[in-house]
Amino acid sequence: MIWNPNKECMSRDEMSALQGKRLHKIVEYVYHNVPFYRHKLQEMDLTPDDIRTIDDIVKLPFTTKKDLRDNYPFGLQAAPQSEIIRIHASSGTTGNPTIVGYTRKDIGVWSECMARCLTAYGVGRDDIFSVAYGYGLFTGGLGAHNGVEMVGASVVPASTGNTEKHAKLIRDLGITGIACTPSYALYLAETMEKIGITKDQIKLRVGAFGAEPWTEKMREEIEERLGLKGFNIYGLSEVMGPSVSYECQLQHGSHINEDHFYPEIINPVTLEPLPKGQQGELVFTTLTKEGMPVIRYRTRDLCSLMAGECECGRTNVRMSPVNGRSDDMLIIRGINVFPSQVESVVLGMKEFAPQYLLIVDRVNNLDTLQIQVELRQEYFTTTFATPAAIEDLLKRLCAKLKSVLSIGADVQLKAPGTLARSQGKSSHVIDNRKLV
């Protein structure tokens, strides 16, 4: 089933023409409504009239996460506040989160894109579908929720946490579909086994998994343990949220909703656009967004765009699975974590040396984060030399980390001089998760 064949199965020429028309419109829109973009275009001696076809996109400047941060909170918002009906926030690299406002039309487009994903997965009005992404500032929960309502399935807003209750509901309500992170799906499977819910007692048949990298091996394991078919869903809040791209039944790459999100692949060093099939950094331009449009936004995700048509009938371009980052961002339990966030907290507390180490692992299918910090020798004084004072200091550190990272971390205090010193480019991260 295809939700919107008019858009998902357009001829390539029609799609290019539509994209060109929309690109011109969005550039004109941001030029007149966002000083940041207007100045950038003026600096490059460009006006919206220079952007006529989709191929003209290469003339436009890139937008980065730093631009979003520098313009916190509403600097890149194009629509007046009275038109914004929802605001999401994602973690920023240091301090400020990224704020994304949506107009009523944006929420409509997002819901439709999500409905396209769910329909491709085979979800329809007869399904009972549970959304186990976090509901809140994170776009996963509410984003998926709206799409499930749009296709007319019964949505169960389970959110994360309370996994045992969720497992019981899956059995008792006969829930047929679920959206969550792949690691949470495995944790759910484990919880079910623990409380004695077997695969033949549940009716799950579709899973929409995303918000963190996963592998074919994880897919096999989830499918085997939960008895469903698992589909990839991709998205990011800066562009929209989940539903930027989705797998069809053939599961050979993820179709991009490219009538709304125009993809490019660039060389992350030279910023040169790369042809189809070549791996590079994924860049998106939102073609229809009103609240906070982005022009050539650098996602930092590494993947390639796939050439050729898909046998499912959809003509929209597919992207390969994301298999890396062109920056040091980590995705831990679906939450974006930058080592620089940890650095800002550690450097902000004079008791600690400016060295730190993040150790990421996956235990029982749940990501764990350990942060090692070093006590500064000169702060180990009479007042500090008791376990109670040190515990108190660590508690303060944990609270600060939690508020910046949005996830809890296990903090380990090391003796002065024991963490590796920066020798040129020192690595602050050890990621022990096996994703292959």
Partner 1 sequence: MTVKQLSIFLENRSGTLTKVLDILKESGIQIIASAIADTAEYGILRILCSDPSLAYKKLEEGGVAVALSDVFAIELDSQPGRAADTIKLFSDASLSVIYMYSFLFHGRGLLIFRTDNAAQAEEIIRSACLNSLTENDLAKWE
Q: Which parts of 12-31 interact with partner 1 (CB under 8 A)?
A: none
CB hemisphere CA count around 384 (13 angstroms) = 12
With respect to partner 1, which residue has the nearer C-beta, 208 or 369?
369
Distance CA 417, CA 324 (A): 32
Closest separation between CB of residue 391 and partner 1, Å? Answer: 7
Q: How far is the CB of 383 from partner 1 (least distance, A)?
A: 9
- Smaller CB separation from partner 1, 47 or 418: 418
**Of residues 131-160, those binding partner 1 (CB under 8 A):** none
Q: How many residues bind partner 1 (CB under 8 A)?
A: 18
Whichever of 82 and 382 has its CB closer to partner 1, that residue is: 382
- Please give the full DSSP string across 148-216, using - where no structure is assigned: HHHHTPEEE---SS-HHHHHHHHHHTT--EEEE-HHHHHHHHHHHHHTT--GGG----EEEEESS---H
Q: Which of residues 369-388 bind partner 1 (CB under 8 A)?
A: 375, 377, 380-382, 384-387
Q: Which is nearer to partner 1, 82 or 381 (CB)?
A: 381
Least distance between partner 1 and beta carbon 195 (Å): 30
CA distance 173 to 128: 8
What's the min distance (Å) between Cβ of 387 and partner 1? 5
Which residue, 274 or 390, is less far from partner 1 as judged by CB? 390
Place of tokens 């991709």: 234
The answer to whether 366 touches 333, Cβ cutoff 8 Å, is: yes
CB of 410 to partner 1, least distance (A): 10
- Cβ pair 31, 51 in contact under 8 A: no
Residues 207/254/143/66 CA torsion (nearest 10 deg) = 130
| Residue 81 or 423 with smaller CB distance to partner 1 | 423
Q: By C-alpha distance, which of 157, 161, 136 is closest to 145?
A: 157
Q: Kindly state whether residue 391 participates in binding partner 1, applying the rule CB under 8 A.
A: yes
Q: Which residues, numbered 404-433, are part of the site for partner 1 (CB under 8 A)? A: 412-418
User: Alpha-carbon distance 208 to 347, whole Å?
Assistant: 39
Q: Which residue has the tokens 């730190």?
A: 356
C-beta of 72 vs 380, nearer to partner 1: 380
- Could you tell me the smallest distance in angstroms from the CB atom of residue 408 to partner 1? 16
Vertex 156: Cα angle to 152 and 162 (nearest 5): 165
> How many whole angstroms separate alpha carbon 81 and alpha carbon 386?
52
Query: Phi, psi at residue 26, to the nearest 5°?
Result: -70, -35
Phi, psi of 112 (to 5 degrees): -65, -45
> CB of 415: closest distance to partner 1 in angstroms?
5
Q: How far is the CB of 427 from partner 1 (least distance, A)?
A: 21
Nearer CB in complex with partner 1: 164/391: 391
Residue closer to partner 1, measured from CB, 201 or 386: 386
10 Å CB burial of residue 27 (0-12, 13-18, 19+) is buried
* Of the candidate residues 169, 306, 390, 429, the single one contacting partner 1 (CB under 8 A): 390
Query: C-beta of 283: minimal distance to partner 1 in Å?
Result: 44
Footprint of partner 1 on residues 318-377 (CB under 8 A)? 375, 377
Residues in touch with partner 1 (CB under 8 A): 375, 377, 380-382, 384-387, 390-391, 412-418
